[in-house]
Amino acid sequence: MGIQKVHLSALLVLFLTACGSGAGGDEAEQETVASGVPAPVSLAYTVLNAYPHDTAAFTQGLELYKGSLMESTGLMGRSSLRKVEIKTGKILSAIQLNDAVFAEGITILRDTLYQLSWQNHEVYVYDIKKEPKKITTLPWSGEGWGITNDGIQLIISDGSDKLYFVEPGTLKLKKVLSIRDQYGAVNNLNELEMIDGYVFANRWQYDYILKIDPSSGFVVGTLGMQDFLKKNSKKDLSYLDKPGSTAQQSGAVLNGIAYDSEKKSIYVTGKLWPEIFEIRLQ
């Protein structure tokens, strides 16, 4: 998701979550039984490394590909698709998008990269076997927020509680899945990443990452990321609080998940963050 806006549904979820956090054990158990969805478990992780990240990059999507990071950046007039060297943060190549495009999430399936746009109703398709090369544009009926794949289908979020399973190449809709936790539907689903059979999702305006079972739609785990940047960065973060800055106007929030299946580590970052962090689940 791009710029900040307040949704009534998001406020309702915050209210329900606050009520739930103060409930006693018996009440929490009753809520779980009533909803039919068990409460998610808290997932512990270890921070392994921190790597430089372009503080002008309004990160919307992050993917690992052949030892480099592919990154989608947003904002009108600043949207791009980048290939980035992990350890140095050096931009190895970049494709600038049309000024009218607000780019969103990305995913890679069989050497083909799919990049969403927010409200442009377009999905950009690239051949990335060598250097990224745009090959086509596909129409998409809704908003584009996050995207991943299960090796067969693409999975798209639109900021609601829904995940859309579609055919690569055509975006033909195959299935719609509602995501729920013990309190009900979970909206604001944003950047997505498939990790060992589960969908991990940033939730816009919330400081945690969700672990979702794609067969049931249940949130089965959460990674707490409260004050993650302040706790783990050694950089000067004062630029994020500068009045009138992009960070203040558009939100330098947690966003970006990429998985290294060989190392079993996860790269996470945020919009305009100075670093990309490598973490590992315990």
Q: What's the start-to-end Cα distance of the chain, in Å?
A: 29
Q: Residue 90 and residue 111: Cα distance in Å, rounded?
A: 22
Give the mean model confidence (pLDDT) for residues 179-207: 97
Per-residue pLDDT, 193:
98
Cβ–Cβ under 8 Å, residues 184 and 35? yes
Which candidate, 103, 251, 258, 101, places its Cα nearest to that of 192?
258
Which is it for the CA torsion 64, 66, 69, 73, positive or negative?
A: negative
**Using an 8 Å Cβ cutoff, are 65 and 131 in contact?**
no
Count CB neighbours of 179 within 10 A.
Answer: 24
pTM (2 d.p.): 0.88
> pLDDT > 70: what percent of the chain?
88
How far is the C-alpha of 7 from the C-alpha of 197, rounded, in Å? 30
Nearest alpha-carbon partner for 279 in 262, 271, 267, 263: 267
Determine the pLDDT at residue 36.
87
Q: Which of 20-29, 94-103, 222-231 is least confident?
A: 20-29
Amino acid 100: pLDDT: 97
In the predicted structure, residue 116 carries a pLDDT above the cut 50: yes
pLDDT tens per residue, range 236-259: 999 999 999 999 999 999 999 999
Are the beta carbons of 54 and 91 closer than 8 angstroms? Answer: yes
3-state secondary structure of 239: helix
Q: Give 8-281's CATH code, choosing from 2.60.120.260, 2.40.128.630, 2.40.50.140, 3.40.50.720.
A: 2.40.128.630
Structure tokens at 43: 């997932």
CB 203 within 8 A of CB 186: yes
Mean pLDDT of the chain: 90
Is there a contact between 220 and 213 (Cβ–Cβ < 8 Å)?
A: yes
The domain limits of the chain are 8-281
Per-residue pLDDT tens over the stretch 196-216: 999 999 999 999 999 999 999
pLDDT digits (tens, 9 = 90+) for 58-88: 999 999 999 999 999 999 999 999 999 999 9
**Could you give the CA distance from residue 212 to residue 196 in angstroms, rounded to a whole number?**
11
Contact of 83 with 94, CB cutoff 8 Å: yes
Pairing of strands 189-195, 103-109: unpaired
